[in-house]
Chains A and B, each alone.
Chain A
Amino acid sequence: MVKFGIEFVPKEAYWKTVYYAMQSEKRGFDNLWITDHYNNRNVYTTLAATAIYTKKIVLGPGVTNPFLINPIMTAQSLASLDEMAPGRVVLGMGAGDKTTLASTGIEAKKQLSAVVDAIAIFKAMLEGKSVTYEGNVFQVKGTRFNFKPRGQIPVYIGAQGPKMLATAGKIGDGVLINASHPKDIDYAVGQIKSGVTEAGKNMSDVDVTAYTSFSVHKKPEKAMQAASPVVAFIVAGSPNVILERHGIDLAKANKIRGALAKGDFGTAFGSVSPKMMEAFCIAGTPDMCNEKISRLLKAGITQFVVGSPVGPNVRNSIDLISEQVIPHFKQ
């Protein structure tokens, strides 16, 4: 049965994010993903507070990256969190956003190798033994914790490009695909399968997760309006090959990129076309959203993540999803 996850960006006071996390648990969500960006509240502080106030929802960073947070520290953070929320902690690891990393003075080189190294170190550290590892990007020598981690923690890999998707299938317990359209999921599942096959695994060993931009409201225009700023940023950050896959006019995409770069949000958000909305988000009434989620399920996902903005009123939208979306797939 499909799992439902929800993503929160900890950009507000911690008690608001924790409130929404608790609401999500009460309303039937299975997974909680907290984003990790240096310019928001800290992901592990938020997760620790959430762990205290929840009892069954599975939680983790979605996603962290090895360039800003060394994999040893990621292992330490999640091993500690696993003591607070035993057996319900997962890791979401990706290569990070190059532009954001550049602003911190970090050059994200050899992204694929960095993620592979980071996960190898992460898993080895959780064994609780002394770790020596010589990777292409990360090396550790005789590193060990002064405490015994509870055990292994499932690893999800945030992936979009073909090599990262295949690697995720090969070494991950799950894949977080930043996509909301069946075309992108179809493509991703094909790549993941190649990695799964190479590793001698089955697709059922991998939790194929659509990490979507989502907005629901009883009035579709309100749902769309809430989603259009997020879609503008997705369009601006998407490689042209993905825009072309959806038949999006590159000139229109460049107009949005230019407007965002100048801080002209009115022009940027106003330039989001219906085709862009269709490609990069799931927005509308519960019935409209259910139809689109069904298409993603047919494409092969096993977890659906409700990502930003969730809806024009997050609290009301969580209730609406609980009443009219989750039951549609779980009953």
Chain B
Amino acid sequence: MSYKKIVEMIPVEKREKLSDKLLNYLLKSKKEKKMPSSMAKCFLSQWQTGGFDDEAGLAVLLEATALLELDKTAEFLEQDLQLADVAKALKEVA
């Protein structure tokens, strides 16, 4: 499954809250070395052109946080947003 497909599983009303949380995870992460150069450029290009609230932006953000902070991301999806199926799909694709 692609990250775009995972984003489609997330209800629209929960996306802004998720985007905000994922940005915090990413920017505060100490696992910077896990960020591939290509992903860093993709992250910055997305921020430059569109941001992270729409489907394309959230997909980039999910991919980046899955690389650096998979456990935290999955836990937030499952426990705070009550999206266990999304958390499971994310763990499978990461």
Chain A residues close to B by CB (< 8 Å): 12-16, 18-20, 22-23, 53, 313-315
Contacts and interface: CB of A to CB of B under 8 A. Distances in A.
A15 B24 contact: no
B43 interface: yes
B40 A13 contact: yes
8 contacts: A13-B32, A15-B40, A16-B27, A18-B44, A22-B48, A23-B47, A53-B44, A314-B27
Contact of A315 (B23, B40, B48): B23
A313 B44 contact: no
A19 B47 contact: yes
Nearest to B47: A22
Contacts, number: 30
Contact of B44 (A12, A19, A314, A315): A19
Interface string B49-93: 000000000000000000000000000000000000000000000
A18 B47 CA distance: 10
A22 B40 CA distance: 14
Contacts of A18: 44
Contacts of A15: 35, 40, 43-44
A267 to B, nearest CB: 25
Contacts of B47: 19, 22-23, 53
Please classify the interface of chain A as helix (H, G, I), strand (E, B), loop, or mixed, using the class held by over half of its residues: helix
Interface of B: 23-24, 27, 32, 35, 40, 43-45, 47-48
Contacts of B40: 13-15
Nearest to A19: B47
Contacts of A315: 23-24, 27
Contacts of A12: 32
A9 to B, nearest CB: 15
A13 B47 CA distance: 16
Contacts of A20: 27
B54 to A, nearest CB: 16
Most buried by B among A19, A23, A313: A19
Contacts of B43: 15, 19
Nearest to B37: A15
Contacts of A23: 47
A53 B45 CA distance: 8
Contacts of B23: 315
A20 B26 CA distance: 12
A240 B23 CA distance: 42
A315 to B, nearest CB: 6
A16 to B, nearest CB: 6
Given A22-B44, A53-B45, A53-B47, 17 more contacts: A12-B32, A13-B35, A13-B40, A15-B35, A15-B40, A15-B44, A16-B27, A16-B32, A19-B27, A19-B43, A19-B44, A19-B47, A22-B47, A23-B47, A313-B24, A315-B23, A315-B27
